[in-house]
Amino acid sequence: GEVVFRNREIEDFVLLRNDGTPTYNLAVVVDDIDMRITHVVRGDDHLPNTPKQLLIYRALSKEPPAFAHLPMIVGTDGKPLSKRHGDVAVGYYREAGFLPEAMVNFLALLGWSLDDSTTIMDRGTLVANFSLERVSSKPAVWDPDKLYWMNAQYIMALGDVELAEAIRPFLVREGLLGEEDGEGMERLRRAAPLVRERIKVLADAVPLLAFLFREVDTEEDSRDFLEGEENRAVLREAGKRLLELENFDSASIESALRAMVEEMGLKPRRAFQPIRVAVTGSKVSPPLFESMELLGRERCLQRIARALEAGRGAAAS
């Protein structure tokens, strides 16, 4: 609503410093006049400046813009948002892989709402429905968990080609994909849908997909899956079955490896981990059989052989 200040409540304030440079209140008024600003929407921490600026507009015989002051954004601890709450620079969110549409959606809901239930909305809906009347008078809470959740929802909604194109710059940045790498881009288009449900930001896709674009070392916490006679037996037998496959597609790979596990009397979840670690370098990866199809028979067999060699060396030491 309308806020009223009495003139006697406004102290004398400085317009020019000793060196002749203008103070904030004078500078911002002159700049807004020069820019022909008609509306100013800003944080309510600027509310005390507003009556002073209105007096300057009046002294300059200029029509002031319409002013609206929004509640400040605070962290989950209720204190004004600052670096202690994590990264607050826009650049960080771009580099981490937050989608612009998700950021706009999230920011729009900081202190404003379309109704009592809508959380996900596109920019057109926001533009068509935004009004200052629905802005809350209470401080808005910056909730990182909600932002990650919302970004994941937008990632889920991307088409396969859109998702691949969105992930591409992050692989290029890490040197995993060349700017003109057509073969690598085709592999990414096929791989991107496999990580859609596993990532919250686009940068999350890099460690999940790196094994498809370069040779990877086995992660420290995954090496145990390459050691021990049972794990080595699984890898040896998997190598044989994969070599014998007529078609190296995910369905054929899955059928062969599940038959192998059943014959060996092992639980699939336990038996597939050595294979996953061998071909991807990690115990966390996209779906195994689809990953192996994308990697190709030759590279899968090479990595299994290398894992067996590494396990043999570990046993000898």
Torsion, CA 228, CA 230, CA 236, CA 241, rounded to 10: -150
Q: Which of 62, 83, 200, 283 is catalytic?
A: 83
83 given a catalytic annotation: yes
25 within 8 A of 49, measured Cβ to Cβ: yes
> CA 225, CA 218: separation in Å to the nearest integer?
10
Provide the pairing of β-strand 39-43 with 140-141: unpaired
| Distance from C-alpha of 296 to C-alpha of 247, rounded to nearest angstrom | 11
Strand partners, 192: none
Determine the Cα–Cα distance for residues 129 and 109; give it in Å rounded to an integer: 12
Instruction: Decide: 121 and 107 in contact? Cβ < 8 Å.
Output: no
CA distance 220 to 303: 17
Q: How far apart are CA 75 and CA 123, in angstroms?
A: 25
Residues with catalytic roles:
83
